[in-house]
Amino acid sequence: MPFPDPLHSVATQQWEQVKESGEEALLTAAADVRANGSFGERWLVVTDQRVVVLPGTGAGEDGYLAIPLADITEATTETLVGGGRLEVQQQGLPRSVLEYTSSQAPKFAEVARGIQQLAKGQPLAITDELPKLRCDKCGRLLPEKNGLCPKCVHRGAMALRLAGYLRPHWQQTVLLATLALTKTGVQLLPPVIQKTIIDGVLTPPVEGANTGGHYGDFGFLVLMVLALVGAGLATSGADVAAGWFAASLSTRITAAVRSELYRSLERLSLLFHSKREKGVLMSVVTRDTDNLNYFLMDGVPYLLSNGLMLIGITLIMLLYSWQLTLIILIPAPFVIIGGATLWGRLRPLWAKVSQSWALFSAHLSESLAGIRVAKAFSQENAEIRRFSRKNADLADITIREGRLWFTAFAGLNFITSSGAFLAWLAGGRAVMVGDLTLGTLVAFIGYLWLLYGPLQWFNQIYNWMSRALAGAERVFEIVDQEPEPYREPNAIALPRIEGAVEFRDVTFGYDPSKPVLKDIAVSIQPGEMIGLVGKSGAGKSTFANLICRFYEADHGEILIDGHDVRALQLESLRSQIGMVLQDQFLFNGTIADNIGYAKPEASRAELIAAARAANAHEFIVAKPDGYDTRVGENGGNLSGGEKQRIAIARAILRDPRILILDEATSSVDTETEHQIQQALARLVQGRTTFAIAHRLSTLRNANRLIVLDDGKLAEVGTHDELLASGGIYARLVKMQQEVSKIQTIAG
């Protein structure tokens, strides 16, 4: 297994000076905090005999440390403010080894594991697949671990990826491009018609000049005006048709992107969702895809038609007078450079606006979800103040962006107008000396505004495009996340299981540098009822979640009927596991919908049978609409006990081989608890059951109890065995009995 860091030349020289005969470096790692607390390199070397810390390379640096592996019983990492510390237990006493910053925490979590393996005489088995914190290209800190660098993301590649969604709609795409080409050709006609009217109808013929011979011909004038009207109508018609097709095409593409995004969100692991705020994800699904839709519907057609128009106008103007064309194009480089400068300053502001919107959405989602708590503690005014601050932050960054945009746009508009000044000056002189006709000059002025108008609005288009592509980055960042291996082609389709579960040296942490479960090893027989016991945060729910493979173990194996869960099809695994949680989620549908969620094809008779087994049928039929009663958002129209019994009915309908009960009887009255306990007694029969309960008395009938303490397997045994041992479980039972006595006296 590769080492986290190879020794560089300076550290190698230091190591050569202190290593003992026959000693070889098995594990090396560089910390970024010296012994005196300053930033700097400090090296750890682990051999089969010692753990050695080399002095830093700073002037006068001390800090040499050597600890025999035989004296070490445990190696851990401790979280500090802005960093962490590697510690070992040396002959039963804690000893600090070295410190590091937070960016080094995942690496030293692996180092601690490696030290512990070597101290126990086990082979070294650690990973160097650590989360990426900085961009490989520019070195900037990433917005999140293993995320994308906003600075280095390839916008052209992003645009090409979006273009891939056009393939199913290529006919509409070709038609839209044809309409854009038609519209461009029609828009180029009016200046030519105006030139014909001025030079051929309104201006007296000059001797020797060919003006068409229509001077004073009112009928020809009417014909030319009708041509102008026709060109205007054709342009409007092309606009309407292009708008229809663009609206349809952009909406379909955005719907496809949104669907792919939602599919990805559904397929991503709970670890991903636990690290993302729901409001931020909602902002990506709604606001970012909306920005994409607006750009595809309005920006792309504008970009296409006006890009063609710029080419056509430039060719026509060069045909009329290349000298005047070069003169009036003098401001163009300034417009382009000014636009590029503006875009460079606006891009970070657009990113901040988008981030502010995401944080605002997250806060709004959280505050609305917690409205009951706010009212219970009379914190409405405090919540209003918090909202006002978030709203003000969003308003401030939006105002900054708007002011910069409109100020710069006004300057670009003036630069653009200077082209008209030059056209009148140089073109007017050319008319005076007879080098140019008045109609040609008027046509030039008309084409000038057709030319500079798109140049001005290309800035706005870039604004739209940047917002859309920034949104697309966030969308595809989620889409490109590694999904759960839901239907891996080589995964095993698990047949009906017996329910044997085994943990083999399992270590897991939501952040790998902070393990929640540490080296758990236990075997459960089919049909056993296992009680999971421990203080809050000991890892009980995490233990249960790993059985469902909601999360992947960082180290070790979890076996179901002898199969490693990582080799199983998730669908076949989870279809045989049922869960009843403390805060069970119900969908905003009917009671029948929520019970049938576990088995959509179930008949009404099966639903009723499951409800009866869960002691839920009586209260359901007592409601006006019975099983068709709507439960409201997250079951808001039901009591806590009613929600729990519906959740139990759902689990009964699923008929799982492994059952997980996580505080299933908490927060209900005694009578309801009795009904729930009766339902659970029916549910657990013949199944492997893992029960987590706050009241330890409810676990008295469990076959075995597993006691977790600080993520470690502390005790295993029956209720009576653990009471007799006088360990952690016995102390917890005694504490609960004392609390119950106090409550009885107080009552």
What is the tens place of the pLDDT at every residue in 130-171? 666 666 676 666 655 656 665 666 666 767 777 777 788 778
The residue among 616, 624, 618 whose CA lies nearest residue 653 is 616
Domain 155-479 of CATH type 1.20.1560.10: yes
Q: Which CATH number fits domain 492-576+658-666+688-747: 3.40.50.300, 3.30.70.120, 3.40.50.620, 1.10.150.120?
A: 3.40.50.300
User: For the chain, what is the mean pLDDT?
Assistant: 79
The residue among 58, 301, 29 whose CA lies nearest residue 175 is 301
Within this chain, domains 492-576+658-666+688-747 and 584-655 share the same CATH topology: yes
Confidence at residue 2, expressed as pLDDT on a 0 to 100 scale: 53
Confidence at residue 701, expressed as pLDDT on a 0 to 100 scale: 79
Instruction: State the pairing for strand pair 658-662/577-580.
Output: parallel
Return the CATH number of the domain spanning residue range 584-655: 3.40.50.300
CB within 8 A of 717, min separation 6: which ones? Answer: 704, 705, 725
Distance of alpha carbon 471 from alpha carbon 498, whole angstroms: 48
Contact 518, 279 (CB under 8 A): no
Burial environment of residue 744 by CB neighbours within 10 A (0 to 12, 13 to 18, 19 or more):
exposed
Q: Thinking of the domain 9-119, which architecture would CATH place it in?
A: Roll (2.30)
CB within 8 A of 259, min separation 6: which ones? Answer: none
Q: CA–CA distance from 29 to each of 8, 391, 499, 554 (Å)?
A: 10, 46, 42, 20
Three-state SS sequence of 251-312:
HHHHHHHHHHHHHHHHHCCHHHHHCCCHHHHHHHHHHHHHHHHHHHHHHHHHHHHHHHHHHH
Q: What is the pLDDT of residues 640-690, one digit of tens each?
A: 788 888 888 888 888 888 988 887 665 555 666 677 677 777 777 888 989
Confidence at residue 560, expressed as pLDDT on a 0 to 100 scale: 93
Q: CA–CA distance from 147 to each of 275, 512, 575 (Å)?
A: 13, 17, 32
In this prediction the pTM is: 0.65
Q: What is the pLDDT of residues 266-313, one digit of tens each?
A: 888 787 777 777 767 877 887 788 777 777 776 677 677 777 777 887
Q: Where are the domains of the chain?
A: 9-119, 155-479, 492-576+658-666+688-747, 584-655
| pLDDT above 70 as % of the chain | 84
Point out the least confidently predicted range of 84-88, 98-102, 652-656.
652-656
Structure token pair of residue 562: 């002898």
Residue 728 has pLDDT above 50, yes or no: yes
Contact 3, 87 (CB under 8 A): no
CA-CA-CA-CA torsion for 602, 604, 607, 613, nearest 10 degrees?
Answer: -130
Beta bridge partners of 577: 658
Residue 525 has pLDDT above 90, yes or no: yes
Distance of alpha carbon 225 from alpha carbon 13, whole angstroms: 91
Structure token pair of residue 242: 């292009």
Query: Does 212 or 17 have the greater pLDDT score?
Result: 17
Distance of alpha carbon 247 from alpha carbon 298, whole angstroms: 8
Residue 417 has pLDDT above 60, yes or no: yes
SS3 580: strand
Which band of pLDDT confidence, cut at 50, 70 and 90, is reported for residue 1?
very low
